[in-house]
Amino acid sequence: MKILVTGGAGFIGSNFVHYMLNEHPEDEIVNLDLLTYAGDLESLEDVENLPNYRFVRGDIADRAFIFELFERERFDVVINFAAESHVDRSITGPAIFVQTNVLGTTTLLDACNKYGIKRYHQVSTDEVYGDLPLDRPDLFFTENTPIHTSSPYSSSKASADLFVMAYHRTYGLPVTISRCSNNYGPYQFPEKLIPLMIAKALNDEKLPVYGEGLNVRDWLEVRDHCMAIDLIVRNGRVGEVYNVGGHNERTNMQVVKTILNALGKPESLIAHVEDRKGHDRRYAIDPKKLETELGWKPKYVFETGIQDTIRWYLDNRTWWEHILSGEYLKGR
Ligand SMILES: NC(=O)c1ccc[n+]([C@@H]2O[C@H](COP(=O)([O-])OP(=O)(O)OC[C@H]3O[C@@H](n4cnc5c(N)ncnc54)[C@H](O)[C@@H]3O)[C@@H](O)[C@H]2O)c1
């Protein structure tokens, strides 16, 4: 199969490219990425010369470019990871989220419609379901939970999901959607909670924690997410949504303290800062559909997964230090 992976220079996309090249060396991967501030080709240095992998720089919202690419390449499968992904940035500047996440997605869908594909897969988020109360641990997001977004980020992702489903219903496009919880693992940009806290702790800087740090996230190891997407694309039913989550709920404070303990740093480094506007309280996924229909079983549990992740950031200091210093932007 010839697979277009968009956003493959980002956190989850680069892990997915690695996963696919390992698991399915018979497939051909074309990685299309605009290389915004969040894209880093250093994450893919070890695969860049493989004969079945290619990088193309471009914007998923650039219609002429996308149509020309599809005309030339004739993809079998399109998997869309490309997005503006940081909630805090969406609060200070929502417009680019509409441009990339909504317009970019519909541009890809139009190209799929025109040139024909076997499957279009949209990588979405559990944030489209809004949040759950902290005092109801019995509640989980299912695929039938109503869309009820909080931030400009989640609103743009929910809009994209609605367009994906509309293209299936209206034009018969063979689509699937996955909605996952918070990912952690290698190659995550150090503006997100776990790598940010690791980098700050290693530099003996204050660790900024929103409010009391009691917001709960359901942590998913990125490689378990990659496995889920691969299963959905190959065996998932067209027109269906699949939730992906690992039943690994932790408060932000628990995560931060785990990192400090692992690095032998004092909890006095924690600094409580003003809460994020509209901050979602709790996310928790019910992944039953993915488990029963497609046999997905996560390989990682948070206790050991987080320790492996911390070790990865210790062993790959140059990777994230290049980002923090801006070195990774040189030559763009
Ligand atoms: N990280 C998470 O925990 C998480 C959780 C749920 C869902 N998701 C979703 O998964 C996907 C990937 O997330 P991530 O954390 O890897 O994001 P990321 O920010 O690390 O990477 C996004 C990538 O998309 C690229 N990109 C941005 N705009 C583009 C455009 N217009 N054209 C082409 N490429 C563009 C960037 O250069 C970057 O490489 C996103 O769709 C996100 O909404 C992420």
Please report the domains of the chain, with CATH numbers, ordered by start residue: 2-187+219-247+284-300 (3.40.50.720)
Mutate to test the pocket of ligand 1, among 14, 40, 56, 81 (most ligand atoms within 8 A of CB): 81
Q: How many CA within 13 A on the CB side of residue 79?
A: 25
Cβ-contact 132, 190 below 8 angstroms:
no
Residue identified by tokens 């003003």 is 274
Q: Which helix (H) or strand (E) holds 288?
A: helix 288-294
| Annotation says 153 is catalytic | yes
Residue 3: helix, strand or coil by DSSP? strand
Q: Which atom of ligand 1 is nearest to the CA of 188?
A: 20
Q: How many CA within 13 A on the CB side of residue 154?
A: 20
pLDDT (mean) for 122-144: 96
This prediction's pTM = 0.97
DSSP-H helix ranges across 74-221: 87-92, 95-97, 105-115, 152-171, 193-202
Whole-angstrom CA distances from 241 to 4, 142, 165, 250 are 20, 10, 9, 25
Q: How many CB atoms lie within 10 A of CB 180?
A: 27
Distance CA 104, CA 332 (A): 22
CA of 323 to the centre of ligand 1 (A): 16
| Annotation says 46 is catalytic | no
List, in order, residues 6 or more apart from 311 with CB less than 8 Å away: none
Instruction: List pocket residues of ligand 1, CB cut-off 6 Å.
Output: 6-7, 9-13, 33-36, 38-39, 59-61, 81-85, 100, 104, 123, 125, 157, 180, 182-183, 189
Mutate to test the pocket of ligand 1, among 85, 86, 107, 131 (most ligand atoms within 8 A of CB): 85
Q: Which atom of ligand 1 is nearest to the CA of 36?
A: 37
Distance CA 308, CA 262 (A): 11
CA of 38 to the centre of ligand 1 (A): 8
Distance CA 244, CA 289 (A): 9
- The pLDDT value recorded for residue 332 is 85
pLDDT (mean) for 220-237: 98
Q: Which of 84, 50, 208 is nearest to 157 (CA)?
A: 84
66-117 pLDDT per residue, tens: 999 999 999 999 999 999 999 999 999 999 999 999 999 999 999 999 999 9
Q: How many CB atoms lie within 10 A of CB 81?
A: 26
Quote the mean pLDDT of the chain: 97
Model confidence at 129: pLDDT above 90:
yes
Model confidence at 172: pLDDT above 90:
yes
Model confidence at 331: pLDDT above 90:
no
Cβ-contact 9, 44 below 8 angstroms:
yes
- The pLDDT value recorded for residue 19 is 98
- The pLDDT value recorded for residue 31 is 99
Distance CA 146, CA 128 (A): 9
274-291 pLDDT per residue, tens: 999 989 999 999 999 999
